[in-house]
Structure 1
Amino acid sequence: MTEAIDWDDAYSNFAYIPDGYGYPAKWVVEAQKFRDEMQQKTLLKSDISYGARERNRFDLFMPWGDLKGLVVFVHGGYWMEDFDKSNWSHLARGPHAHGFAVAIPSYRLCPQVRISDITVEIGQAISHAAAEVPGPIHLTGHSAGGHLVARMVTATSPLPQAVRQRIRKTVAISPITDLRPLMKTEMNDTLHLDAIEARLESPALLEPQEGTDLTAWVGELERPEFRRQNALLANIWSGFDCRIDAVEEPERHHANIIEGLADAAHPLTHRLLCL
């Protein structure tokens, strides 16, 4: 008989990372440092509204000199953790150094809304940022944010076609691509996922937009379930008319996998920007 899977343990990240629970405080410090730098240079446009709700806001970091395009980073936290855009500002550093404007949105959280509602909000945030910044669009996000950016390039994306056509590259970092296992976790007391929503919101169960170019990027030291979810998307989408690949970055876990975005020379930044 197959041993039952402990799905709560499968999605428990920080418990398996040395000093894992200390990372959020580090992110706040690094984010504020970068925000201060950008404010001093008058390159930060903060709290731009993309909707009527308090969390429907994004920060936009504008580069010096020639503008190369727009990067949008969508944060994670299982669609329910109390993170917002200001926790992740430092992750704009890598793309910003290459001349890209970087938008980082907040969004409403479960259980106030459902995951399908968050999908719509991220579509609105990207559309508003695209109206502020001309040129190609590059999308990236981490964990639940990885799910959301992958969802943006599916055939049922909430993005207007004109915005979809500007998306050059998507990098989904440690993405959750099949939501169905989450129905078996204690988190679902907050997420309220049912079988219909889980299927309709799972990128791995949807067709990619024709011509999509996506990299699924995960850490070699991450929980097996995240490595499985990463490979799943690349495996299934390889049968469609899109460019898809998967990367397992050595010596990276779920908390430090995003640090590459803060480094202009890191392979993660280069892959995102198609350098």
Structure 2
Amino acid sequence: MLYQVTDWDDAYANTIHIPQGESYPDRFAAAAAAFRDSARIEPLGLGQIFLPEGEPQGLAVFIHGGYWLHSNPSFWSHLAAGPLARGWAVALPGYPLTPTVRIAEITAHVARDLTEAAARIPGPIALTGHSAGGHLAARMICDDGTLPDEVAARVARCVPISGLFDLRPLMRTAMNATLHLDLAEAMAESPALLTPRPSIPVTAWVGGAERPEFLRQSRLLADIWAGLGAATDWVIDPGRHHFDVIEGLSDPDSPLTRALLGR
């Protein structure tokens, strides 16, 4: 079957294609606030680190999405619940948003915060992120010095969720009036156009009910990085759309949390 994108804005629109999609930010904010009420929290730049009882088993990192345009870690705190219940510390880094900064600067900012979190929490590192955060999670393990070698060596798994891995199509959307992507930056910041660090398993996770472009982007990363020697998988979560595909992170026994922590 032929697949062709003719409306780039619609191809990357999520809210209007999800029943009651406009209600999800308020739902996320309420669940996140309730979770923080009983959590042990340390500040991390614009974000937080959630601490388990006892010595951490390692550091899980969740990077939020929002097309690099909006949102912040306070909407997503509840997604730390799954790894936290398994004894992992969980970092939710924040970052400045476009158009104040460019996407390349966001990449560098997240890498600095991840490095700071790794200095505080010993053990393996498990990376995940959603949407634009999925892009950033994959971007952290590109073999271009984004992360210091000693931090990258501790990354045991990367599970980008519904990520954006080739940024060139976004240059055709109206949101690029704010992102200000040009071809040079789109190529330099696209994980699918870069080489992954060796020996880090990657699982591109995406909802089965998502927009076709998100399915294509996840398949693209898994296929291209497999061809460059990475151990990759591509998981379609049946029936999940762009806003509920992340819910598994709040459950310590979900397939998504198990994929992230490796057990």
TM-score, normalised with respect to structure 1: 0.93
SS in structure 2 opposite 1:37?
A: coil
The 1-side partners of 2:15 and 2:129 are apart by 18
Deviation at 1:31, TM superposition (A): 0.3
Q: Counterpart of 2:68 in 1: which secondary structure?
A: coil
- Find the counterpart in structure 1 of residue 61 from structure 2: 72
Q: For 1:229-271, what per-residue CA distance to the aligned partner results, in whole angstroms no more than 9, with x for missing partners?
A: 0000011111122211100000100000010000111100000
Of the structure 1 ranges 89-98 and 204-213, higher mean CA displacement relative to structure 2 is found in: 204-213
Which residue does the alignment assign to 2:134? Answer: 146
Structure 2: gaps of 5 or more residues: none
Task: State whether structure 2 residue 249 is matched by structure 1 residue 261.
Answer: yes
**Displacement of 1:3:** 6.6
Distance 1:134 1:65 in 2: 13
Is 1:174–2:162 an aligned residue pair? Answer: yes
Is 1:48 the equivalent of 2:44?
A: yes
Matched residue count: 261
Partner of 1:25: 26
> What's 1:62 paired with?
51
- Look up the match of 1:233: 221
Contact 1:174 1:218 in 2 (8 A): yes
**1:67-96 Cα deviation digits (max 9, x unpaired):** 200011100000001x11111100000000
- In the TM superposition, structure 1's runs of 4+ consecutive aligned residues that sit over 2 Å from their partners are none
Question: In the alignment, what sits opposite 1:88?
Answer: 76
How big is the alpha-carbon RMSD for the aligned residues of Structure 1 and Structure 2?
A: 1.1
Maintained 8 Å contact 1:151/1:157: no
Q: Could you tell me how far apart the structure 2 residues matched to 1:219 and 1:71 are?
A: 21
Alpha-carbon separation, structure 1, partners of 2:55 and 2:95: 30
Pairing 1:242–2:243 present:
no
**C-alpha contact 1:11 1:225 (8 A) present in aligned 2:** yes
Matched residue of 2:206: which SS? Answer: strand
3-state SS of the aligned residue for 2:227? coil
Residue segments in structure 1 that go unaligned for 5+ positions in a row: 50-56
Whole-angstrom distance in 1 between the partners of 2:51 and 2:25: 25
Give, in whole Å, the separation in 2 of the partners of 1:5 and 1:162: 44
SS of residue in 2 equivalent to 1:149: helix
Structure 1, residues 91-112: CA drift from partner, whole Å, max 9, x if none?
0000000000001011000000
| Residues 143 and 62 (structure 1), Cα distance of their counterparts in 2 relative to 1, 3 Å cut | same
**Identity across aligned pairs (percent)?**
51
Q: Which amino acid aligns with 2:60?
A: V
Q: Which amino acid aligns with 1:71?
A: A
Mapped to 2, the partners of 1:109 and 1:157 lie a distance apart of 22
How far does residue 4 in structure 1 lie from its aligned partner after superposition?
5.9
Change (3 A) 1:4 1:126: closer
Q: Which residue of structure 1 aligns with residue 239 of structure 2?
A: 251
Task: Answer whether contact 1:69 1:135 (CA < 8 A) is retained.
Answer: yes
Distance 1:221 1:4 in 2: 17
Q: CA deviation digits over 1:107-147, x for unaligned, max 9?
A: 00000000000000010010000011011000000000000
Residue type of the partner of 1:72?
Answer: V
Cα separation, 2, equivalents of 1:103 and 1:148: 14
CA separation in 2, counterparts of 1:3 and 1:156? 32
1:34-70 C-alpha deviation (Å, 9 max, x unpaired): 10011xxxx211x333xxxxxxx22111101232000
